[in-house]
Structures are given as structure tokens and as C-alpha cells.
Amino acid sequence: MRDTFYQIRDCLPLWRAALALSLIAILWLATTSYPSPALSAPSDKVNHFIAFMELTLLSRLGWPGKPVLRYAYALLAFGLALELIQSQLDYRDFSWADLLADGAGIALGLLPWPLLPPLGKMTTNHT
């Protein structure tokens, strides 16, 4: 069972594909004029926080040996790009508070998590 866990955790293509799908879904959700899905949190800021924490965790799993600031800055740039796109839409607005919630989600995703490899280190020894 433990080996299966590590095989899944260390399956980089899985986490990279999940990140790509998440980025696409978040881009669509951030730019659509459709009402929010039923599974959405009551607060837009909570949605931003959860989404960017998830993106950070997927980045950590997909690229465990990369310096954390590289994908932290990339994810924050993605959040800024979303806000800039939204500022051009009639039914959305630019929000610094959304960008702050994105940053808070990224920060929480960078904290040590017991089942994730240490930041900036690739681990393959599971004994």
C-alpha cells in the first residue's frame, strides 16, 4: 500500500496533466458569463484561495525539484493575467482582493505538507 502511494505521488505526468486541466478550468471559470457552479464557495475570495492553493500543490507534485519561487511567481502572474482579462470583460472586474487571495493560497500551498516531498527536493527513496 505504501509503495502504491509513493508510485502515485511520484507520477509526475499525472500531476502535470492535473495542473494543465486545472489551469484550463480556472481560466474558463474566471472568464465565463455563466453563473458560478453549485460547488462554488459562498465567497469569491475563498474560491480564489482554494484554486491557487490547489495549483501550488499540483506544481509541487509535478515539479518537485524546481525552486519554489519559480512556480510561485508563475502562478501569481497567472492570477494577475486572469484579473487583467476580467478587467476587459463587461461582466467581470479587476480585483486586488482576488489577487491577494491568490497569493494567500499560493503561500499556504508552499508550507510543508506531510505527504509531499520537501520543497526543492526530489525524493525517490521510500524505505
pLDDT tens, position by position, for the chain (127 residues)? 778 877 888 899 999 999 999 999 999 999 998 876 656 667 889 999 999 999 999 999 999 888 888 999 999 999 999 999 999 999 999 999 999 999 999 999 998 776 676 655 555 554 4
pTM of the model: 0.84
The per-residue DSSP string of 57-114 comes to HHHHHH-TTS-HHHHHHHHHHHHHHHHHHHHTSTT----HHHHHHHHHHHHHHHS--T
pLDDT for 112: 77
Q: Is 60 helix (H, G, I), strand (E, B) or coil?
A: helix
What's the confidence (pLDDT) of residue 22? 98
Q: Do the beta carbons of residue 109 and residue 55 sit within 8 Å?
A: yes
Q: Take residue 82 and report the three cell numbers written for it.
A: 486572469
